[in-house]
Amino acid sequence: MLEPTSHRAGARPAPEGARWRFGLSAKLLALTVVVVAAAEIAVLVPTIANYRIAWLSDRLAAARTAALALDAAPQEGISADLTRELLDSVGATVIVVKSEDTRRLLAASTMPPEANVHIDMRGTTLWSAVRDACDTLMARNGRILRVVGDPPRGADFIEIVLSETPMRRALLRFAATVLLVSLAVAVVAGILVYVSLNWLFVRPMRRLTERISAFRENPEDASRIIVPSGRSDEIGTAEEALEEMQRELSLTLHQKSHLAALGLAVSKINHDLRNLLASAQLLSDRLVSVPDPTVQRFAPKLLAALDRAIAYCEQTLSYGRAKEPLPERRDVEVAQLFEEVRDTLGLASGAGIGWVADVERGLVADADPDQLFRVMLNIARNAVQALEGRVPLDPDRDQIRIRARRKGTVVEIELSDTGPGIPPARREHLFEAFVSSARRGGTGLGLPIAEELVRAHGGEIRLVDTQVGTTFRITIPDQSGDRHHRRERIRA
C-alpha cells in the first residue's frame, strides 16, 4: 500500500522526506475507514436517542399503571408501603396526574425534590431527541428530571420526577454494546468492500500500470504489449484501447527504424548516384548539336528531367530530416507546368488515360516551380495508379482533370480523376507517412510530401468530397499583395 517512489521503474528521484507515498490500495483503505466511521456515527447517534426515548416511555407507562391504582383507591386510602412499591416500580420519586382542575400526587415524601431538567415527551422530535441524548451522556450523576407524557384516559397529562443517573448508566451500557456490535459489523463489511474493490479495480489498474512501464522500457518489443483480460467493463475497454495503441506505436517505431536504415543506405549511394547522373547530363548535352528534328524536340525534355533527377538526389534526405528546403518563389506559368507533368507521366495524346486541363488563360502562380511540380506530379501519379487498375483503359472514361483559377491573391488548383476513389478507412490517415498508400509496394510518402511542400508556401491541400473518383484542391497564396498587384498590371 505504501510504495517507495524511488523503487518504481523509470520514476524520478523523490526529494528527501517524501520518499514514500500512499498507493491506490492505501487510499482505498483510508476511504473505506472514513466511510465506515461516518456510517457508524449516522447509525449510533439516532439509536442511542431512540433508546433514551424508549427508556422514558417505559417509565411513563409504569406511571400510568400506578395512576390507575390512584384512581381505584379511596381518597387517603393508599398506605406508605404501597406508595413506596408503586414509586419503585416506576423508578420515580413523584407521580402527578392532572385531570381538569384536580392534581393527584403520589410521593415518597412530603417535600419532593426540585427538578433540574424538564422534558415533555408529547412533542419530541428527532433532532431534540439526539440533542437530549448527548446532553444525558455528558451530564453528571445526580440530576433530577421532570418528565411529562400522555396521561391515562380522562386526564390532561401525567408527570414524573426521577433521577437521571439510572437512565444515564443504562444509556452508556447500551451505547457501548451497540458500538461494539456496529464496529464488528462495520469491520467485516469494510474488509469485504476493501477486498472487493481491490480485486475489481486496484489490481487491474496496477496491472495496467506495470504493463505500461514495461512497454515504455522497450516499445519495439512486441512481447511487452498488454494482453486484454477479456473483461466487459470499463477496465476491459481500457485494456483493449491500450493494446491497440501499443501495437500502433510499436508498428510506427518499426517503420521509423526501417526509414532510418533506408536513409543510411541512400546516403551511402547518394554521392555516386549523383555523379552518374551528372555524367549522363554531360552526354545528353551533346544531343543538342545533333541536327535530327526528333532529337532536337526531345533533348530539352531529357535535359530537364536529368536536372530534376540531380536536384532530387541532392534532397534525398530532406524528408528524413523532417524539413524540406524553403521554397524559392517566382512567377510560374501554371499551364506550362501542367504540360511538363503530363509529359513526365507519359500521358501524351494516344495514351490510355485522358488528360483534360482547364487553366485560366495566362495564369501565373507565385511558387517554387520545382516544388510545385513535385506536388502536382505526386498527386497525378497517384491518380494514374488508381486508373491503371481498369482494363482495358478508355481515355473517354478514364481521365485526369485539372482545373486552375485565380481568386484574388490565391491560385486554386483542383486535380481529379474518374477512378474508384479513396476508401473511407484511409481518409483519416491520408496525409500520414507510410499509412495512406493503397498500392502494393508504395511508400505512402507522396501525399505527405505534397502537403509539406504546399504548407511551406502558406497554402492548403485537402480532399474534396465528390460522387465519382478523387478530387484534391490546392491553394497557393501569393507571397505579398504588392507582387499580385504588379503581376496584374503586367497582365493588363
Report the distance separating Cα 143 and Cα 160, nearest Å: 14
Question: To which residue does cell 549522363 refer?
Answer: 280
Is 334 or 142 the better-scoring residue by pLDDT?
334
**Separation between Cα atoms, residue 324 and residue 390, nearest integer Å:** 35
Q: Which of 473, 454, 477 is nearest to 324 (CA)?
A: 454
Query: Which range, of 20-34, 48-62, 247-261, averages the lowest pLDDT?
Result: 20-34
Residue 13 has pLDDT above 70, yes or no: no
Instruction: State the number of CA atoms in the 13 A half-sphere of 159 facing the CB.
Output: 19
Q: What is the mean pLDDT of residues 237-242?
A: 84
Alpha helices, H only, 91-157 = 126-138
Alpha helices by DSSP H, 4-154? 24-72, 80-90, 126-138
Could you give the percent of the chain with pLDDT greater than 90? 14
Average pLDDT over the chain, rounded to whole? 77
Q: Supply the pLDDT for residue 277.
A: 66
Axis-axis angle for helices 293-314, 369-387 (nearest 10): 100
Helix (H) or strand (E) holding 161: strand 157-163
Q: What is the pLDDT of residue 460?
A: 94
Handedness of CA 254, 378, 469, 454 (dihedral sign): positive
Determine the pLDDT at residue 272: 60
**Percent of the chain as helix, strand, coil, to the nearest 5:** 55, 15, 30
Contact partners, residue 171, CB within 8 Å, separation at least 6: 48, 51, 52, 55, 133, 136, 137
Strands (E), 151-264: 157-163
Q: What is the mean pLDDT of residues 370-377?
A: 92
Residue 332: in which H helix or E strand, if any? strand 330-333
**Which one, of 197, 145, 227, 220, lies nearest residue 32 by Cα?**
197
Per-residue confidence (pLDDT) for residue 278, from 0 to 100: 64
Average pLDDT over residues 166-185: 85
Helix 369-387, helix 334-345: angle, nearest 10: 40
486, pLDDT greater than 60: no
The predicted model gives 39-65 an average pLDDT of: 84
- Is 40 a residue whose pLDDT tops 80? no
* Mean pLDDT (whole number) for 60-64: 83
Give the integer Cα–Cα distance in Å for 383 and 158: 104
Give the whole-angstrom CA distance, residue 369 versus residue 356.
21
Cell triple for residue 368?
517554387
326 — pLDDT class (breaks 50, 70, 90): confident
- pLDDT at position 358 is 94
Give the mean model confidence (pLDDT) for residues 429-442: 59
What is the arithmetic mean of pLDDT over 360-370? 93
pLDDT number for residue 126: 78
pLDDT tens column, 299-318: 777 777 777 666 666 555 45
Predicted local distance difference test score (pLDDT) of residue 413? 96
Strands 144-149 and 364-367 turn out to be unpaired
C-alpha triplet 363, 368, 371: angle, nearest 5°: 110
pLDDT of residue 164: 86
Rounded mean pLDDT, 282-309 = 70
The candidate with the shortest Cα–Cα distance to 104, out of 146, 127, 74, is 74
Mean pLDDT is highest, among 1-15, 276-290, 375-389, for 375-389
**Per-residue confidence (pLDDT) for residue 360, from 0 to 100:** 93
- The pLDDT, as a whole number, for residue 8 is 44
DSSP-derived pairing of the beta strands 117-120 and 144-149: parallel
Characterize the bridge pairing of strands 94-99 and 102-107.
Answer: antiparallel
Confidence of residue 441 (pLDDT cuts 50, 70, 90): very low
Cα separation, 211 vs 220, whole angstroms: 14
Q: How many helices (H) and strands (E) does the chain have?
A: 12, 14
343 falls in which pLDDT band (50, 70, 90)?
confident
pLDDT digits (tens, 9 = 90+) for 382-435: 888 888 877 788 888 889 999 999 999 999 999 999 988 888 878 777 877 655
Beta-bridged to residue 359, according to DSSP, are 404
- How confident is the model at residue 401, as a pLDDT? 94
What is the pLDDT averaged over residues 146-154?
78
C-alpha distance from residue 420 to each of 368, 389, 416, 461, 469 (Å): 32, 9, 11, 20, 5
**Beta bridge mates, 492:** none
Is the C-alpha dihedral spanning 435, 441, 445, 447 positive or negative?
A: negative
